[in-house]
Structure formats: C-alpha cells, structure tokens
A and B are shown apart, each in its own frame.
Chain A
Amino acid sequence: MSAKRRNHLIWLGPFLGFAAILSYFMVFARFPGLRDFPWLNLPLALVGLVLSVFGVLRPWRQPEVFRGKALPIIGLVVSTVFASFFVYYIFVLSVLPAASETAVKLTQAPEFTLTASDGTTVSSSDFRGRNVALIFYRGFW
C-alpha cells in the first residue's frame, strides 16, 4: 500500500496563471522586448494550464496516491480563466482599430495650442524651425 500524497498541481497551475498576468503588468511590460510579445508571460500562463490538466489526471491515473477529483477540476477551471484572459488581452483587447485615413495620409501637421500639465501653454508655433516628435498616448484616465 503506497502513501497518499498531496496534489500540489491543484494550486500550482492557477498560481502560475495568476503570476503570469500580474507580473506582465507590474514588471515585464516595462521591457519592450517582453511587452511587445509576452515571450515570458504567455508560456508561463500556458505552463500553469498544462500543470492544472496534469493535476486533474493524477487522481484518475494514480488513485492509490492522489485522492480527490473535484478540487483539481476547480483548479483547471481557474487556470483556464487566467490563461484565456491573458491570451484575449494580448491578441484581442489590446489591438487597435485600423488607423484613420487622416492619420495615415497627413502631410502638414495641424496647428495646435494646448495646456501642459505644469499649467503652461504650449503651441505648435513655438517650435518653428525645430523638429518635434509628437507622441499621442492613451493617458491614465
């Protein structure tokens, strides 16, 4: 008779999925190479998913070692939610609609006058004779 063991894959799978998402936004999004395509975080989320699958299989394959079939299934569901959310965010949610014709074809920059965060007024005419890199960003809202 063999000793019973705890099925650690139950929590390890969802943990990796959660860690993949959290560390992408908190840490790795700062590194362009790992942000543009999540070379680290996507595999991590998928490994979590695979571990959860093995977690479910264990009590079926080795019933004498691993008890409990319900918890691993819950773990797999959670892992699946994490991994699908991440894949959805990376490949669908963060995709922008096609750029407008105006943006694509613009040859002369329109004039503008706007307020800067320090309260000063900045106008395009201030930069005559100099190159300007005009960055549009999504903001913090």
Chain B
Amino acid sequence: MQSRIAEIRATGTEVLAISVDPAEVTRERLGSVGLEFPLLADPELQVIDSFGMRHSAGGMGGIDIARSGVFLIDGTGSVVWRELTDNYRVRLRPERLLKQIAALP
C-alpha cells in the first residue's frame, strides 16, 4: 500500500489504518519503516466493533484483534465499497483500490 500511496493520494483519497496495537507499540515496531499514512490505535476495539471487524481470539495468545479488510468511505461518510477477505494472507492489492476509487462518481 505504501508503495502506491502517492497515486492513491493523488486521487484525493486519504489512507488510514486501524489495529488493536497501542500507539506506543506501533511506534516501537515501526521503527524506521517510513509509512506515509497514519496507523491508528484501537486497543479497546470500539471502532473495530463499530465496523463489525472484531476477530475474536484471532491474535497471539487468544486475544481479540481486527480482521483484515478495507472500507472505502466517500466525503459524506457513506461506505461506497469494501473488501473483507476470508483469509488474512490474501489482502487488498493497491491496484484494486485505485480501480475502485477511479470508479467513484
């Protein structure tokens, strides 16, 4: 996703990523990996739940985490497209997202 971020931004679309990891953990793990989009912390899974994206006991040691998936939300807050993978190895490819963005009115 990072490799195509400029192209995605150029369409006027912001990229945000959400996981259960606390901000400090993400900062630590990220180290010098330069990501140009914010990684948001939702350790209480409030937002993850509001999108129905909880994967119960999906994490190491049986903790609850977010399942992999992407929502494309337009300027009015409507969900215009989503991709909810059924296997976490199989994730959204940036070109598919770009195609969807291009198809927006």
Which residues on A are within 8 Å of B, measured CB to CB? 29, 32, 35-36, 90, 94-104, 106-112, 114-120, 122, 124, 127-141
Contacts and interface: CB of A to CB of B under 8 A. Distances in A.
A136 B23 contact: no
27 contacts: A94-B87, A95-B87, A99-B52, A99-B69, A103-B53, A103-B82, A104-B84, A107-B78, A109-B73, A110-B47, A114-B41, A116-B39, A116-B40, A122-B16, A127-B14, A131-B80, A132-B13, A133-B15, A133-B73, A135-B15, A136-B66, A136-B71, A137-B18, A138-B19, A138-B65, A139-B20, A141-B65
B38 A117 contact: yes
Interface string B40-77: 11100011101111111011100101111111111111
Contact of A108 (B16, B23, B79): B79
Nearest to A128: B75
B17 A141 contact: no
B55 to A, nearest CB: 6
Contacts of B63: 141
A138 B55 CA distance: 9
Contacts of B80: 131
A135 to B, nearest CB: 4
A93 to B, nearest CB: 9
A136 B19 contact: yes
Contacts of B67: 96-97, 99, 103, 136, 138
A61 B89 CA distance: 42
A122 B89 contact: no
Contacts of B15: 132-133, 135
A22 to B, nearest CB: 16
B97 to A, nearest CB: 6
Contacts of B20: 139, 141
Contacts of B75: 127-131
A106 B77 CA distance: 11
B9 to A, nearest CB: 10
B10 to A, nearest CB: 12
User: Max chain B CB contacts within 10 Å: which of A94, A96, A122, A128?
Assistant: A96
B59 A135 contact: no
